[in-house]
Amino acid sequence: MKQHKKACAINQGRVSMAGDMLVMSKSQMEQLAVIFARQKETAEGVISAIGAGIDGTTWQGARADRFRQLWETEFRPNLRALCDALGEHSTFISAELQAGVSALDTV
């Protein structure tokens, strides 16, 4: 029996994707995709607000320099990575949900 790279089993309202192993109800998938998308927007807002705050002030001194350095080298890149991951996973979950719904339509 051949194993499929990504086998989809839908039973009792749950979607299971072997490979990435998504096992949750349709409503949980919808909810998680929305949460990830909203939190991506929130994190993007944090990046924007802090960036504007830093750029819009005359904050000077060792602490200001240290924060700006950390912002540029650690904080902003890590927040950007979080935004990217949230967006990627929101899209993935939505696509898997749609694939599961499409699979049900063909049964």
Residue 105: the pLDDT is: 52
DSSP 7: -
Percent of the chain with pLDDT over 90: 64
Region 2-21: mean pLDDT is 45
CA 73 to CA 54: how far, in whole Å? 14
What CATH class has 27-102? Answer: mainly alpha
The sign of the CA dihedral 35, 41, 45, 47 is: positive
DSSP 9: E
Residue 1: the pLDDT is: 38
With vertex at residue 97, the alpha carbon angle to CA 92 and CA 102, rounded to the nearest 5 degrees, is: 125
Residues 64-85: tens digit of each pLDDT: 999 999 999 999 999 999 999 9
| pTM (2 d.p.) | 0.71
The residues spanned by each domain of the chain are: 27-102
